[in-house]
A and B are shown apart, each in its own frame.
Chain A
Amino acid sequence: MEAVYAQYAWLVPLFPLIAFLILLAIGRTTSRVGPIIGVLAAGASFVWSLFVLFEQMKGDGMGYVWNDLEWIRAGNFVLEMGFEVNPLNALMLAIVSFVSLLVNLYSIGYMKDDARITVFFSYVALFTFAMLALVISENVVQLYIFWELVGLCSFLLIGFWYEKPEARAAAKKAFIVTRVGDVALLIGILLLVWNMPGHALGFTNIANAFANGEIAGGTATLIAILIFIGAVGKSGQFPLHTWLPDAMEGPTPISALIHAATMVAAGVYLVARTYPVFEASSDALQVVAYVGAFTAIFAAIIALTQRDIKRILAYSTISQLGYMMMAMGIGAYAAGIFHLFTHAFFKALLFLAAGSVIHALHEQDIFKMGGLWKKMRLTGWTFAIGGLALSGIIPLAGFWSKDAILAEAYHSQPVLFWIGLITAFLTAFYMARLFFAAFTGPAETDDAARAHESPAVMTIPLVILALFSIGAGFVNIPGSERLAAWLTGEAPSDHSSVLVIVLSNVVAVAGLLLGWLMYGKKAVPQDWLSGRAGWLYRLSFKKFYIDELYEYLIVRPLRVFGYFLHLFDEFIIDGIVRLLAGITVGLGRTGTRLQNGQLQTYGLVSLLGIVILAVAFVGWRFVVNAG
């Protein structure tokens, strides 16, 4: 059977691109039509990506590659452009366009009063386009272009409210910190160009070359690590995670988009896409696994003490991305993608629900909320579902994917399993803390007392996402791992064990229970740990002082260096330019003074000129004759 829809998979990113161009053209004149165009384009992408996805599901991993568009020819090096459809990116297309559609829909309500709503929708469309195009890119260079475009869009959207200095700083930080990773990725790509037989850069060629051992050993490890650093930057893994919490300065729908589907998913997707490179090097896999596991627990500890609702969710994203990376590292490729898949739903849900709360209260501190459960029923329920899914309570989506990762970890690397388990406990605890502090108890402020439910255009996406957060896990349950089988194209090795399922649920319930006791029922005093070990609390609250460390180790020295460069620029470079300009101006001034309209002065100057010429001529003749 021919892949029909896959041949037209390029239409999926095309819709948002067209929407972007239209929105760009109409500008900010029409705030009514803009959102509709954005939603329509995202909807069209989503429908088309569903066709592609279902076709891929039927066809047993039948991929489609088109790369006939020659882009660069230099000597015998030919770089083609094109697109590729396989189960992995068909799934990603569907996730990205689905979340984008819901975010578009939700933004109609959330951004209703913003004067620049058309600009907002155009950025979202560009963002969606970049991510979709990244997903179906056929070769690494093409991926890198869209990779940077995704980074640019996140910069624009994080800094969307650029009148706020924090938003400007956050946008710059996001751009610069991810740039560190991007440079590593670029070096990795250059190494690939250097080492690949025939300089072929298509993903299929790369997979074959690494699978056949044409590139192995140290080179393979180096390339894999460099690609991974790129992913670390985009996916907010330690130590390049600092931009992600700050990115909360952007509008909340954007946080949902960044955290669930586009920006951070790009990193995990990159590792998944170039997985053969990692498979060729067990060292690289170990690095990936341990960085992932460390990030997971590290971010979870920070999330325990944050007060800003969006920051808690941001750290939970970092933590969950750590899970995904860990899964990649221990060879549980399908489990990692599975977690990406389920995480997209419940994290988008959590962010959009948090956005609904912020929309109602204009307050982000969870201890200034309280009592929202009764006033915002729909938001409360959907948030609870998202929180339970994130905590990994059976049978919600988050449980199945987390269980798949933990089971693999238990089977291959028990250390990572225990780290993952502790993280699961912490996750459940901070979600309970967030939920009970914000939704139960008495209203802490007047705004919280006056809170009301958001409009339907905002709650409907929540309900849809809640349904998916409940049900999405069933595509890949132990014993019937359909997603894994479809993604990898081979029979999945089932490592699930009852012990892991029981343990992960026990710790999750324990975490929730502890959170309820401390923040819901208030049976356990909230400061029993922070009161006894204050330094521990401060360490977590100050995010392990990573930002301060970077400030003193990197930012300040660079700023001093930059200051000297600035001085050099100011006085040496600019000085020379100013000197030249001064000379010219001086000459001009003298010239103007000569042009005084006095005929006799002109005559005198002409006479002087002739005398000088005559003297020079005579002198030259004299010298020539004498010599």
Chain B
Amino acid sequence: MNVVSSYLILAAILFCLGLYGALTKRNAIIVLLSVELMLNAVNLNLVAFAKWGIAPSLTGQIFSLFTITIAAAEVAVGIAILIAYYRSKATSDVRDMNSLKR
């Protein structure tokens, strides 16, 4: 078992935790946090392959920097939407967020 495997396993665990949270949690904030967790698991993969991959290069690390930036922006937008939604509907439960159904 080489070094990269332990990174990958950690990332996989993190990703699954995030996925589980995103699919099961009722609070939209928690769902947003879980999505962040999944993104960070991906970042971990990128960094691990950039160091220990077959052809190591700096590209992976730079890529993960971009991801972190975009994730920050995404969270900002997401939180803004949630606040706006809470103001109008007085709820942050994802089960109630189905008004686009029809």
Contacts and interface: CB of A to CB of B under 8 A. Distances in A.
Contact of A600 (B23, B101, B102): B23
Interface residues of B, number: 13
Interface stretch (A121-129, A131-139, A265-273, A590-598): A590-598
Contact of A597 (B19, B24, B31, B99): B99
A592 to B, nearest CB: 10
B23 A603 contact: yes
Interface residues of A, number: 9
A603 B22 contact: yes
B4 interface: no
A604 interface: yes
B88 interface: no
Q: Please indicate which of the listed interface residues A595, A596, A600, A607 has the most CB atoms of chain B within 10 Å of its own CB.
A: A600
B22 A597 contact: no
B98 interface: yes
B77 interface: no
Contacts of A599: 94, 97-98
Interface in A558-611: 595-600, 603-604, 607
Contacts of A598: 94-95, 98
B99 A600 contact: no
B100 A600 contact: no
Contacts, number: 25
Interface in B70-102: 94-95, 97-102
A595 B101 contact: yes
Nearest to A598: B98
Contacts of B97: 597, 599
Nearest to B25: A600
A607 B18 CA distance: 13
Nearest to B22: A603
Nearest to B101: A597
Contacts of A603: 22-23
B94 A596 contact: no
B38 to A, nearest CB: 11
Interface in A270-297: none
B23 A604 contact: yes
A600 B24 contact: yes
Contact of A607 (B19, B100, B101): B19
Contacts of A596: 98, 101
B25 to A, nearest CB: 8
Given A598-B98, A607-B23, 9 more contacts: A595-B101, A596-B101, A597-B98, A597-B101, A597-B102, A598-B94, A599-B94, A599-B98, A600-B94
